Amino acid sequence: MADHYDVLGVSRDASPEDIKKAYRRLARELHPDVNPDETSQEKFKLVTHAYEVLSDPVQRQQYDLGPQAGFGGGGGFSDFGDIFSTFFGGGQQRGPRSRMERGQDALLRVEVELAEVIFGVHKDIEIDTAVVCETCEGSCCQPGTSLATCDICGGSGTIQRAVRSLLGNVMTSNPCGSCRGYGTTIPAPCSSCQGQGRVRATRSIPLDIPAGVDTGVRLHMTQAGEAGQAGGVNGDLYFEIKVKNDEIFSRDNDDLLCTLEIQMTDAILGTKVTVPALDGDVTVDIKPGTQGSEVVTVKDRGITRLRGNGRGDLKVGIHIVTPTKLSGKEKDLIESFAKGRKQPAPQLAHFQQGMFSKLRDRFFNV
């Protein structure tokens, strides 16, 4: 690695003003606007980095002493934890920390129709997230360049210094301020991701939603979440399901519930009615003499069980519609029917719940 003083063309005892003058002169000669060729650009980066180090008194002192040199001075304890760990085995140098970081997990809410829950459904979910930068492929560096060993800490990621204490001088280690503990620097950060190794983008996630899911169920996809920094492993994705309400059908665990309105004559004589269910037509058998609020069960036409075999049932609550307007002929027929039957006179009986309350109770107790 080139010496910073040689790069700027100054002596090791050069004054801050001499260093500034040397940098300005070289910067004018090597600036990309003046010399666009790659060689001049690389030299310009070296000159700039050398000036950043030597113009800072602290970094210059560290550079002059070298990465393994200790620092004197400082009265008293600057970091009691460092001193304690030195004596009890925790002060060993652990090496530079990795630039790669695991991406964050994400929770997304997905709405599905009740009909989609019966057999399950496949959806492609569009999400805005962090993805690996295509320009640098997660390296954080402009293509054709690479990470450089930090010339302050020599790649260790830490700076050692001597702390004067009651027990004498104790060597402590602290993260390098120049490379932030990574042990490397990025001379030419990627222009697309600004040295992060990832960018924001929209991508499509294929999601298979199993049959039988209900609101609140969470599906987990490992390493399908946000891309990690500097090529780190992706986080996880969690999908929380929200089942939309249906205008006709409702749900009770694995059963489907609905109400069928029939005419008075259908209830008296009985009939078979074909109606559209969520997964195709279904035939409901109305027995003669069916009473209002009775529940007809159609086996295996409910929701596929999430855990277990088979499906739930379709439960149809019967609502008998009493006509409010009759033609003269219809009224005559009804009156003739009533006279022909010996029916008891209306009398008081125990209070009956409303039709919807009775249906609810029967749905959940059938």
> What does each of the 366 residues of the chain score in pLDDT, given as a tens digit?
568 888 888 988 888 888 888 888 888 787 766 667 777 777 878 888 888 888 888 788 777 766 544 333 333 333 444 444 444 434 444 678 888 889 999 999 999 999 999 999 999 999 999 999 999 999 999 999 999 999 888 888 888 877 666 656 677 778 888 888 899 999 999 999 999 999 999 999 999 999 999 999 999 999 898 999 998 899 999 999 999 999 999 999 899 999 999 998 899 999 999 999 999 999 999 999 998 888 999 999 999 998 878 999 999 999 998 888 888 888 888 888 777 777 777 777 666 555 445 555 555 555
Residue 150 labeled ligand binder: yes
Question: What is the C-alpha to C-alpha distance for residues 145 and 191, in angstroms, rounded to an integer?
Answer: 12
Q: 């209070």: which residue's tokens?
A: 351
Mutual angle of helices 57-65 and 38-54, in 10-degree steps:
100
> What domains lie within the chain, and their CATH numbers?
1-55 (1.10.287.110), 106-131+195-243 (2.60.260.20), 250-363 (2.60.260.20)
Q: Is 140 labeled as ligand-binding?
A: no
pTM: 0.62
Does 179 belong to an annotated binding site? Answer: yes
Starting at the earlier edge strand, list the strands of the sheet with 255-263: 250-252, 255-263, 314-321, 295-298
